[in-house]
Amino acid sequence: MPGTPDCGADAAAYVLGALEPEEAELFRSHLDQCAVCRDEVESFGGVVQALPLAAHQYEPPRGLKRRVLQEVQREQAVAAREGVRRRRTWRGPRQLLAGGAAALVAAGGVVTAIELSAGVAATVVTAQVSGIAGSAQLRVTGGHGELVVRHLTPPKHGHVYEVWLQSGKAEPVPASVLFGVNSSGDADIGIPKSIHRGISKVMVTQEPLGGRPRPTTTPVIVARIGDLS
């Protein structure tokens, strides 16, 4: 019956990521009340975790490793330069982190935390989520942004979430990233474009599959970051 979880069959489709977004959300709510489905999800989940092993195994192309490590080195260098610049202005790491947080708060951003990740300070901004369930954070490290969403309502059938960057009152520009969420409503989304100074907001809207050049709906996620200097 539409709208009613089909215990057992839905569990298999759920762990495979094969439920429609609305079905997945309904099933997640159902899991709270159904021990049978929870057991099925745990049982089938182990099988799905093993499925990658069935793919034919190849060596990763050598250029791939080189590019990944080059990007890691680049981000370390950017973070080191920013750290040097800040050390000339502030007295030490605590003041450095506190200063960064103060700038964001003054700009209207809600800084949840300053964390150390990969040995450098990552600024974490709590995003506002409207019209859907879930939570979102924007983490910025060395000019690179990552959107972390948890328990987010999946996009409607035939739609996808699209990320936008906005400077002041200028038109939002596509961040060149579309995403959905896994069966738990979670996703970690790397933002390809640099979160440079002047970017005031990172936003997410729900768009038809393939995305759009301009937002067609009201943002469901807004992270206000102000000036990251």
Partner 1 sequence: MFSPRRNLKELADEDLMLLVRDGDARAFEVLFDRHGGPAFSLAYRMCGQRARAEDVVQEAFLSLWRAGGRYEPSRGSVRSWILSAVHNRAIDSFRREAVRPTRPLDEGNIVERLAAPELTDVEAERRADADRVRGALGELPEDQRQVIELSYYGGFTHQQIAEMLSLPPGTVKGRMRLGLGKMRISLGEAGVLP
Q: Which residues bind partner 1 (CB under 8 A)?
A: 6, 8-13, 15-20, 43-44, 46-61, 63-65, 67-69, 71-73, 75-76, 115-120, 122, 139, 141, 144, 146, 148, 160, 177-180, 182, 187-190, 209-211
Cβ at position 169, least distance to partner 1 in Å: 28
Q: Please list the residues that pair with 114 across neighbouring strands.
A: 123
Q: In sequence order, what are the residues at sequence separation of 6 or more whose Cβ sits closer than 8 angstroms to the Cβ of residue 111? A: 101, 104, 105, 123, 124, 125, 126
Cβ at position 3, least distance to partner 1 in Å: 13
Report how far residue 208's alpha carbon sits from residue 178's, in angstroms, rounded to the nearest whole number: 10
Nearer to partner 1, 170 or 188 (CB): 188
Cβ at position 92, least distance to partner 1 in Å: 18
Cβ at position 168, least distance to partner 1 in Å: 27
Report how far residue 86's alpha carbon sits from residue 95's, in angstroms, rounded to the nearest whole number: 9
Element of type H or E holding 73: helix 62-89
Nearer to partner 1, 167 or 180 (CB): 180
Element of type H or E holding 204: strand 201-208
Cβ at position 106, least distance to partner 1 in Å: 26
Nearer to partner 1, 20 or 108 (CB): 20
Cβ at position 170, least distance to partner 1 in Å: 24
Nearer to partner 1, 13 or 31 (CB): 13
Three-state DSSP class for residue 143: coil
Nearer to partner 1, 125 or 178 (CB): 178
Nearer to partner 1, 57 or 89 (CB): 57
Long-range contacts, stretch 11-15, CB < 8 angstroms, 24+ apart: 11/37, 11/40, 11/41, 11/44, 12/40, 12/44, 14/41, 14/183, 15/41, 15/44, 15/45, 15/47, 15/48, 15/183
